Amino acid sequence: MNRLDGKICLITGAARGIGRCCAEMMVSEGAKVAISDIDDIAARKAASEIGNDVLALQLDVTSLEQWKAAILGVCADFGGLNVLVNNAGIIVPGSVESLDEDGWDRTIDIDLKSVFLGSKAALPIMAHSAPGAIVNISSISAMVAGHNMAAYNAAKAGVHLLSKSIALHAARKGYGIRCNSVHPAFIDTGMIDEVVRADSPRQARQKLAKQVPIGKIGTVEDVAWAVIYLASDESGFMTGAELKLDGGLSAM
Ligand code: NAI
């Protein structure tokens, strides 16, 4: 409890899945949280279910204008910004041959360019509220490729190295802002149902679990605990680093 006391946090794509769980658990740890999502109705619903003082914002992470407005909104309500969790993401399955240009562009824009835009917009404000942290939700797909994950692999690998570049820039500027990336493997959210072909959601999860050395897929809480650690001052000497949450998948 209270590992994030007084921290002001903005989470993208937080109406559901991993982002929503991060919001709930960060509030439990004492943070003031702004839930943002392209789906503003779902964001408002999630915020009201989590607590009275949770802020809901509409933010399409591909728009620099919307980023600026969202960050101003957080500052107006909470008085600053300490933690940015770049979580919003999509998967458009497809190989280098089968994926069309639109699928490539959407994936790169939502999964990778968003991290550039958000960090660019947030850093000057975060520097004023330091110490702070940017936590980027990449994926184990940044390190382990799939034949039908051309855009997703490229975008998440981009997030991995962009996180290090942001970390070094912030360090050089003396901002007191750290930046790290998180690399989950299969996590039990709606994203799995969108990409895994199976007769039922249960069968999809069993299929994925067989690929993981510890024999199960991850939970949204598994990711949220890592995000809380990276967002808190407990990880004060950690920047430009990556945390793999993959049940041993990448150790094979
Ligand atoms: P999800 O599909 O449950 O939630 C994604 C959220 O992002 C949704 O609320 C959606 O409305 C929002 N979103 C989509 N486009 C947006 C945009 N342009 N602007 C703002 N919000 C937008 O997905 P999940 O599983 O919670 O994934 C969260 C992050 O974790 C993603 O970056 C994903 O790539 C990553 N991840 C997920 C894994 C999994 O197995 N579920 C594994 C590894 C990484």
- Which residues does 157 contact at the CB level (< 8 Å), separation at least 6? 138, 141, 142, 143
Would the pLDDT of 29 be above 90?
A: yes
- Which atom of ligand 1 has the smallest separation from the CA of 86? 32
pLDDT of res. 194: 87
Which residue from 19, 28, 23, 24 is spatially nearest to 1, judged by alpha carbons? 28
Q: Which atom of ligand 1 is nearest to the CA of 156?
A: 34
Q: What whole-number distance in Å separates Cα of residue 224 and Cα of residue 221? A: 5
- The single-letter code of the amino acid at 69 is A
3-class SS letters over 118-166: HHHHHHHHHHHCCCEEEEEECCHHHCCCCCCEHHHHHHHHHHHHHHHHH
Q: Which of 38, 63, 193, 207 to mutate to test the pocket of ligand 1 (most atoms within 8 A of CB)?
A: 38
Cα separation of 14 and 38, whole Å? 9
3-class secondary-structure state, position 241 = coil
What residues line ligand 1, using a CB cutoff of 6 Å?
A: 12-13, 15-19, 37-39, 59-62, 87-90, 110, 137, 139, 184, 186-187, 189-192
The residues facing 9 across adjacent strands are: 33, 83
Look up the CATH architecture of domain 8-188+219-243.
3-Layer(aba) Sandwich (3.40)
Looking from the CA of residue 140, the nearest atom of ligand 1 is: 43
Cα–Cα–Cα angle for 93, 111, 38, rounded to 5 degrees: 100
How sure is the predictor about 62, in pLDDT bands with cuts at 50, 70 and 90?
A: very high
- For 201-246, the pLDDT digits (tens) are 999 999 999 999 999 999 999 999 999 999 999 999 999 999 999 9
Q: From 12, 187, 249, give the residue whose CB has the most ligand 1 atoms within 8 Å, as the site to mutate.
A: 187
Contacts of 217 (CB under 8 A, 6+ apart): 185, 186, 187, 188, 192, 205, 208, 209, 247
**Of all residues in the chain, what percent carry a pLDDT higher than 70?**
100
Which member of 152, 177, 182, 218 is catalytic?
Answer: 152
Q: Residue 49 corresponds to which tokens in the numbers above?
A: 């279910």
Closest C-alpha residue for ligand 1 atom 8: 13
Model confidence band, residue 22 (pLDDT cutoffs 50, 70, 90):
very high
Q: Residue 189 is encoded by which pair of tokens?
A: 């959210």
Q: Collapsing DSSP states into helix, strand and coil, what is residue 90? A: coil
Please tell me the distance between residue 14's alpha carbon and the centre of ligand 1 in angstroms.
8
Does the annotation count 229 as an active-site position? no
C-alpha closest to that of 146 among 111, 99, 188: 99
User: What pLDDT score was predicted for residue 78?
Assistant: 98
What does the pLDDT look like over 166-184, one tens digit per residue?
999 999 999 999 999 999 9
**Angle 220-231/17-28 helices, nearest 10 degrees?**
50
Which pLDDT score is estimated for 1? 78
Using CA atoms, how far apart are residues 156 and 208, in angstroms rounded to an integer?
19
Chain position carrying tokens 């802002």: 177
**Average pLDDT value over all residues in the chain:** 97
